[in-house]
Amino acid sequence: MTLNLFSDDEEALLLAQQAGTREALAPGAALLRGFALGVAPSLLQAVGAITAHAPFRHLETPGGQRMSVAMTNSGPLGWISDRSGYRYGRADPLTGRAWPPLPTVFATLAREAADTAGFGGFEPDACLINRYAPGTRLSLHQDKDEKSHEHPIVSVSLGIPAVFLFGGDSRADKPQRIPLVHGDVVVWGGPARLRYHGVMPLAEAVHPLTGAFRINLTFRRAG
């Protein structure tokens, strides 16, 4: 039996009622409901092209643990984790080739979402592409490996639902639990840029465009 955070009718109603709305999560952080819906098929098509050249893989933490979320990168810089630590690099360590370029549809969406959230002039140079299967999660963490923290993070949800955890400046701060569905975009920067955040374990579900997966695009200015 396939479980879901929402029934099909509930998800359709949520999308219809909230698409296009902007919800403030904290100073410097906003949830843009359904912001990516119009370009979602194009985004997923681009993901397919990217992963044909830079396949999804499960990275290793500096402590030697295998990450449950599969990932790859697009853009001039890609995020890497292994026994040497967390960092950005210009080449895919699996192939030695440059990461696939950032598609125009990616850069345009990231720029428009950041502008809508109050961060004009955002030009990402890295897109982390994460693939979540049911049961996978992302523990609370900060995005702090970028050269500067003056630029926002733009996170796009595609596929099956998830519950986003948006915490405070300390890992001990109790996080908000924010249900996300296909097409939702979260942007945080300024005073919220280094807030802890994560994703709760995903429930089993199926989406017509992604099957039993959630695809998350996280845009950053890393260099």
Where exactly are the structural domains of the chain?
A: 8-220
- List of residues 6+ apart from 207 with CB closer than 8 A: 159, 160, 182, 213, 214
- List of residues 6+ apart from 43 with CB closer than 8 A: 36, 105, 106, 109, 156, 158, 217
- List of residues 6+ apart from 65 with CB closer than 8 A: none
Q: Are 92 and 54 in contact (CB under 8 A)?
A: yes
**Secondary structure of residue 18 in the 3-state scheme:** helix
Q: Are 114 and 188 in contact (CB under 8 A)?
A: no
Query: What is the reported pLDDT for 14?
Result: 52
HSE-CB for 21 with a 13 A CA cutoff:
9
pTM of the model: 0.91
Which phi and psi (to 5°) does residue 74 adopt?
A: -140, 140
Tens digits of residue pLDDT in 51-108: 999 999 999 999 999 999 999 999 999 999 999 999 999 999 999 999 999 999 999 9
Query: What is the reported pLDDT for 3?
Result: 35
In sequence order, the β-bridge partners of residue 213 are: none
Q: Return the C-alpha torsion angle 8, 109, 73, 142, nearest 10.
A: -80
Query: What is the reported pLDDT for 106?
Result: 98
Query: What is the reported pLDDT for 18?
Result: 54
Q: What is the largest CA-CA distance in the chain?
A: 47
Q: What is the CATH number of domain 8-220?
A: 2.60.120.590
Query: What is the reported pLDDT for 173?
Result: 96
Query: What is the reported pLDDT for 19?
Result: 60
The span from the CA of 185 to the CA of 18, in Å, is 12
Task: Please identify every stretch of the chain with a pLDDT value under 70, giving residue numbers as ranges.
Answer: 1-19
- Tokens encoding 47: 């993901």
Which phi and psi (to 5°) does residue 15 adopt?
A: -60, -45
How many residues are recorded in the chain? 223
